[in-house]
Amino acid sequence: MRIPAFLLAALLTPAAYAAPPRLEPLPDIPPPPGMVDPALEPQITIVQHGTDRVEEFRIKGKLYMIRVTPPHGRPYYLVDQRGDGAMRRYDDLSPNFQVPLWVISEF
C-alpha cells in the first residue's frame, strides 16, 4: 500500500507537470576593440616550383618564412630572423628555432 500511495503523490504534485524553463543561448561576446587585427593574421600562399610545394608566410605583405616540401623527403624552412630579407635554412622547427618577432609599436 505504501508504494501506490507514493506514486499517486508523485503524480499529483505540480512539479511533475511544470514545464521546463525556456533557456535561450547567450549571444557571443564580441572581442574588445583593437584586440583582433586581421592584418596580423598570416597570409599563406602555396605555389608549386617544379615538384616542390612552397608555402610562403607573410604578415602585412612582408615575407618572414618559407616552407619547402619536396616530393620525397622532409620539409625544410627558410626563416627571415632579422627582418632584412636574408633567409636562413632550418631542417625542422627544433627548440633552438626562433619565432618571428613583430613590431608592436613604432615611435
3-state class (DSSP) for residue 11 = helix
| pLDDT band, very low/low/confident/very high, at 55 (cuts 50, 70, 90) | very high
What's the confidence (pLDDT) of residue 34?
66
Using CA atoms, how far apart are residues 79 and 67, in angstroms rounded to an integer? 9
Q: What is the mean pLDDT of residues 81-88?
A: 81
Residues 6 or more apart in contact with residue 70 via CB below 8 angstroms: 51, 52
Pairing between strand 52-59 and 43-49?
Answer: antiparallel
What domains sit in the chain, N to C, each tagged with a CATH number?
38-90 (2.20.130.30)
Using CA atoms, how far apart are residues 71 and 52, in angstroms rounded to an integer? 6
Per-residue pLDDT tens over the stretch 3-52: 666 666 666 666 556 677 888 998 988 877 766 666 677 889 999 989 99
Per-residue pLDDT tens over the stretch 57-82: 998 888 888 999 989 888 888 888 77
**Structure pTM?**
0.52
Say how many CA atoms lie within 13 Å of 103 toward its Cβ.
7
Cell of 93: 622547427
